[in-house]
Structure 1
Amino acid sequence: MARKNYLFTSESVSEGHPDKVCDRISDEVVDLFYREAIAQGMNPAHVRVACETMCTTNRAIIAGEYRGPVSVTRKKIEAAARAAIKDIGYEQDGFHWEKAKVEILLHSQSADIAQGVDAAEKKDEGAGDQGIMFGYACDETPELMPAPIYYAHRILQELSEARRSGKEKALGPDAKSQVTVQYKNGKPVGVTQIVVSQQHLDEKLTSKDMRKLIEPYVKKALPKGWITKDTVWHINPTGKFFIGGPDGDCGLTGRKIIVDTYGGAAPHGGGAFSGKDPTKVDRSAAYAARYLAKNVVAAGLAKRCSIQLSYAIGVAQPLSIYVDTHGTSKIDEKKLEKALAKVMDLTPRGIRNHLGLNKPIYARTSSYGHFGRKAEKDGGFSWEKTDLIKALKAAVK
């Protein structure tokens, strides 16, 4: 039986965290290929990108494989990387958007991989790799996300908005948050511990100074009544956070996969998202699994729902579909598994078409989570829609 009373902790990191800088650059490269493909009249479904980035002191290294329009030059890739670093806010001696050296080591996609994936060569386009992907949803927050990760993101988003607006000029781009949520009778009711490490641009600021600055934004991010006199605060617990970003710590694409998903409240298949076009099921099938899980909960078919999908490289149909409603549904989970296969084509091509993934919509996903966001008019975060409710209810009758 599931525990009813417990503490659970999740963390988030800001867009200026070294790993997130790398995720952003990698996703900017993906978006660049899609924008150029569309501009050149190339079918965007034929774009292939697997881009990895490493950032350290005044240096960014971009490597990986691609297939796309010849109009994507090294000059354009470098410009996209610099623009991303500038937008994040890095104009520091140790990491500056204009002064950092950008090295590009991208090369053509392997023909061996391409032959198993290309729609032009196979009737049923196969998955870009093998693997397992998970989706999750629960009724703890308005966006059907676990409360700890949802509010850890919210804290940093509030601080980021204050920094970007110019309201808080002392804040730097790099930050981390962590919240420990107390559950009673299975429901989140408050926070017992709050951790925020926030880069500051004034070297003289102390932890006490930063607590005074940060506390109003934390309170704004959390539900009313969740912070009590017993809540323990840890603001810049090392005492100083002046050197931030890749100058302080080397960053790599794909190192924050739990921050990107459910904060540890659900399983993870192990594959990162950023830098990958959606033929890579690490990304697209994880989006599909979240989409389905969210619709199950939104339809009132369960209060919690975990979904696992599995794929083999070059094979179109998923090898398995697994549903666990954690004892919160009266519907047999086998029936739900069959229903999910009916309401959505879970082949890689089917997922991309259903969710409209062959678009330049990925840079915006690179920080504050790929899930629990608002679906956008241009197709961004399309996997957050709850437009399958009617179909799911009909399929399980």
Structure 2
Amino acid sequence: MRANYLFTSESVSEGHPDKVSDQISDAIVDLMLSKDPESRVACETLTTTNRVVLAGEIRCKPMYDEDKPEWEANGFWAPGAQEEIEETVRAVVKDIGYEQDGFHWKTLEFSNYLHGQSAHIAQGVDSSGNKDEGAGDQGIMFGFACDETPDLMPATLDYSHKILQRLSADRHAAKVSFLEPDAKSQVTLRFENGQPVAATAIVVSTQHAPEYDDGEKEAELKAYVKQVVADILPAELLSDETVYHINPTGTFEIGGPDGDAGLTGRKIIVDTYGGASPHGGGAFSGKDPTKVDRSAAYVTRYLAKNIVAAGLAKRCTIQVAYAIGVSEPLSLYVDTHGTGSVPDEQLEQAVAAVAKDKLGGLTPRGIREGLGLNKPIYRTTAAYGHFGRKPEGDTFPWERTDLGDALKAALG
């Protein structure tokens, strides 16, 4: 590993068009799981100027008409189901804060093209006879943790998220009048001996009210953003040499889906580790937990975080791989990047043993049941990262650090 380098990560706000799409897709997942915990959902969302379009596949018995089990095109939905889906979509947009001419929760046009899950996919995923539930698709998934921040996340991403979370909190609380929902941030840090020592560049672009792109009002906005940065980043990382780019294009009044179309699953690096870790390529939002793109990425974060939290490594990457319809993972790989207190091969054996003992294994069923993933907990994951969050109640169970003793015991 290089010891001295510059590294950058970005985040985007809940009002970014892709994140609007992610939140809608996950709100649909939550809706279906609230009706039937065994629901199957693969929901994609398109957002653009005053329009939201849903597409994908579901299986949720309370939501379709039992009298028409063949999923007929014009008779699919149970009475009131379409209306409930539309209400869910509009509520998400309203909660984010879009009441603009180009994108408004009340006036946007809504189209629903969700249909039934393919029977050929279902037969691979469902358990039957002696066959356990299979993975919802093939693929590779990664989990990661490092000791750069208390959340055991890469510092560049952690600070990028927290800057935008503060802007969002201030906007919703009406502490400032000039912020609109769409925003992006980017943090560049200089690392020495593998640890962040200085912020060399901060980029924040936020959608704003009219006239906040010139004169005293622009100065007010920029001063506010700099204060937020100062509140979020440790003081020792900031100096007179830190370069700020705040709304560098000059004007950012048209934003959100009116400024750029949004699609589910286009911010997978923002969702995970900001580029500090490999990514298997599969998005999370809009998918129920039988999809290992989501659930296996969560469990590998859980295991990697517990390795770092237990002091067994300063940095840890875990990879698993699956075949569609097959329950057991094809491979398990642990890499502590030279920071581990024991050989990585021993950690792999310990991880497998602890996963089997504490979760029921790394099968889709084991992960889902072990982490309690068949619950409507997903919309909150769809902005500001799926990792590095605080576990509360049923939410973010993969962020718990309760496996340290078990891992140490498995290592002997």
TM-score class, shorter-chain normalisation, is over 0.9
Rounded Cα–Cα distance in structure 1 between residues aligned with 2:334 and 2:211? 51
Alignment partner of 2:236: what SS?
coil
* Contact 2:156 2:274 survives alignment (8 Å): yes
Say whether residues 1:370 and 2:378 are aligned partners: no
What CA distance in whole angstroms lies between the structure 2 residues aligned with 1:194 and 1:121? 56
Of the three residues 146, 153, 156, the one matched with 2:164 is 156
- Deviations 1:27-84 (Å, cap 9, x if unpaired)? 00000001122xxxxxx1x210000000000000001000013347111111100000
Residue identity in the other structure for 1:12: S
In the other structure, the counterpart of 1:48 is: 40
CA offsets 1:351-387 (integer angstroms, 9 cap, x no match): 001110000000000000000000111x110000011
> What is the TM-score normalised by the length of structure 1?
0.96
1:84 equivalent to 2:100? Answer no
2:347 pairs with 1:336: yes
Gaps of 5+ in 1: 38-43
Judge conservation of contact 1:140–1:146 (CA < 8 Å) in 2: yes
State yes or no: 1:61 paired with 2:57. no
Q: Secondary structure at the match of 2:15?
A: coil
In 1, the alpha carbon distance for the partners of 2:287 and 2:266 equals: 14
Q: Which residue of the other structure, out of 310, 314, 322, is the alignment partner of 1:303?
A: 314
Q: Using the TM superposition, name which of 284-293 and 209-218 deviates more.
A: 209-218
Letter of the 1:249 partner, please give it: D
The answer to whether residue 287 in structure 2 is matched with residue 276 in structure 1 is: yes
| Residues 318-339 of structure 1: CA deviation (Å, up to 9, x unaligned) | 0000010000013111111111
Identity percentage over the alignment?
Answer: 64
The residue number in structure 2 matching 1:5 is 4
TM-score, normalised by the number of residues in structure 2: 0.93
Amino acid paired to 2:292: V
Residue in 1 aligned with 2:224? 213
Q: Report the Cα distance in structure 2 between the residues aligned to 1:34 and 1:170, rounded to whole angstroms.
A: 37
Q: Deviations along 1:243-265, whole A, 9 cap, x unmatched?
A: 01000000000000000000000
Tell whether the 8 Å contact from 1:203 to 1:242 is kept in structure 2 after alignment. Answer: no
| Aligned residue runs from structure 1 range 94-109, under 5 A | 94-109=102-117
**CA RMSD, Structure 1 to Structure 2 (Å):** 1.0
The whole-number CA distance in structure 1 between the counterparts of 2:170 and 2:106 is: 24
Cα distance between partner residues in 2 of 1:362 and 1:330: 35
Q: How many residues align?
A: 388
- Match status 1:290 vs 2:290: no
AA paired with 1:356?
G
- Shift in Å, 1:204: 4.3
Cα distance change of structure 1 residues 121 and 198 upon mapping to structure 2, 3 Å threshold:
farther
Taking the TM superposition and a 5 Å limit, the aligned residue runs for 1:1-397 are: 2-37=1-36, 44=37, 46-71=38-63, 73-120=81-128, 123-206=131-214, 207-344=218-355, 345-377=361-393, 379-397=394-412
Q: Which runs of 5+ in 2 are unaligned?
A: 65-80, 356-360
Amino acid at match of 1:27: D
Contact 1:56–1:247 (Cα < 8 Å) also in 2: yes
C-alpha distance 219-136 of structure 1, shift in aligned 2 (>3 A): same
